């Protein structure tokens, strides 16, 4: 199990990082199929924020907690994550698709395409300028927006970044060699 800890505009001591690793190591005992846990640490004025994101098979568990110090915020977030993991484990036990999870415990993970139910739909992107796309993204509170850039006629994606900014991805066609 990999635990990725990211800090956003704040420096934290190594002792806190060790504390987080120690607390989250217990969650692997509750739910052994966890491959990766992401932890985001940030601070705004006098409040410390801890966000924990765990991707299970088809389910994303996300917890945000805040407190006046990192240790108590971490404790609250880890307690909430453990409760969510226990609930998810109970769902799996009683669910008809539990066989899929049990097989994954016995076998190694092969490929996302084999284990994920992928739904497809056709999409024709609108032709927008970057400013119009940004406006549409913020008005509709989307995480991302796919559009055709009116300035260069390229397929583009504008998205919200975690650190309260925006990103623009322009998709190039692959050149044949």
Regarding whether 159 and 93 lie in a shared domain, the answer is: no
CATH number at residue 86: 3.30.160.100
User: Is 36 part of a structural domain of the chain?
Assistant: yes
* Residue 6 main-chain phi, psi, to 5 deg: -120, 135
Q: What percent of the chain has a predicted confidence (pLDDT) above 70?
A: 86
- C-alpha 53/C-alpha 39 separation (Å) is 6
Residue 27 contacts residue 78 (beta carbons within 8 Å): yes
What is the spatial distance between Cα 93 and Cα 103, in angstroms, rounded to a whole number? 13
Both tokens of residue 89?
Answer: 């484990």
Comparing 165 with 58, the larger pLDDT belongs to 165
98 and 148 within one domain: no
Please tell me the predicted confidence (pLDDT) of residue 112: 55
Among candidate residues 151, 149, 110, the one with its CA nearest the CA of residue 133: 149
Burial class (CB in 10 A: 0-12, 13-18, 19+), 146: middle
Note whether 40 and 110 are same-domain residues.
yes
Q: 164 pLDDT exceeds 80?
A: no
Largest CA distance in the chain: 57
Do 111 and 148 share a structural domain?
no
Tell me: do 74 and 145 sit in the same domain: no
Same domain, 86 and 13: yes
DSSP code at position 58: S
Pair of tokens at residue 65 = 């907690």
Q: Which residues contact 55 (CB under 8 A, 6 or more apart)?
A: 35, 36
Query: Does 175 reside within a domain?
Result: no
CA 60 to chain CA centroid, nearest Å: 7
Q: Are residues 63 and 149 in the same domain?
A: no
- What pLDDT is attached to residue 34? 82
**Residue 61's closest CA among 51, 70, 71?**
51
CATH of the domain at 156: 3.30.505.50
In this prediction, residue 110 carries a pLDDT of: 52
What proportions of the chain, in percent to the nearest 5, are helix, strand and coil? 35, 30, 35
pLDDT per residue as tens digits for the range 75-115: 999 999 999 888 888 877 776 555 555 555 555 555 555 55
Q: Could you tell me if 109 and 131 lie in one domain?
A: no
Q: What is the per-residue pLDDT for 111?
A: 55
Tally of structural domains, the chain: 2
Average of per-residue pLDDT across 18-40:
85
Task: Write out pLDDT tens, residues 117-134.
Answer: 777 878 788 899 999 998
Structural domain harbouring 73: 2-115
pLDDT at 74 over 60: yes
CA 94 from chain center: how many Å?
26
Over pLDDT 90: what percentage of the chain?
A: 28
Q: Say whether pLDDT at 172 is over 90.
A: no
Look at the pTM and tell me if it is higher than 0.85.
Answer: no
In a domain, 121, yes or no: no
**Number of helices and strands (H, E) in the chain?**
6, 8
Instruction: Say what the pLDDT of residue 98 is.
Output: 52
Do both 50 and 133 map to the same domain? no
Q: Is residue 154 part of a domain?
A: yes
């Amino acid at each position: 199990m990999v635990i990725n800890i990211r800090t956003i505009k704040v420096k934290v001591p190594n002792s806190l990082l060790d504390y987080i690793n120690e607390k989250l190591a217990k969650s692997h005992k509750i739910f052994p199929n966890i491959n990766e846990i992401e932890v985001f640490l940030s601070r705004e004025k006098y409040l410390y924020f801890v966000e924990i994101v765990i991707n299970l098979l088809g389910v994303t568990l996300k917890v945000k907690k805040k407190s006046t110090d990192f240790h108590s915020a971490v404790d609250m977030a880890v307690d909430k994550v453990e409760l969510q993991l226990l609930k998810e484990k109970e769902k799996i036990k009683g669910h008809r698709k539990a066989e899929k999870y049990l097989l994954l415990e016995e076998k190694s993970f092969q490929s996302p395409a084999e284990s994920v139910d992928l739904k497809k739909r056709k999409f024709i992107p609108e032709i927008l300028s970057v400013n119009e796309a940004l406006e549409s993204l913020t008005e509709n509170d989307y995480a991302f927006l796919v559009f055709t850039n009116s300035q260069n006629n390229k397929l583009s994606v504008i998205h919200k970044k975690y650190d309260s900014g925006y990103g623009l991805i322009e998709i190039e066609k692959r050149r044949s060699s």
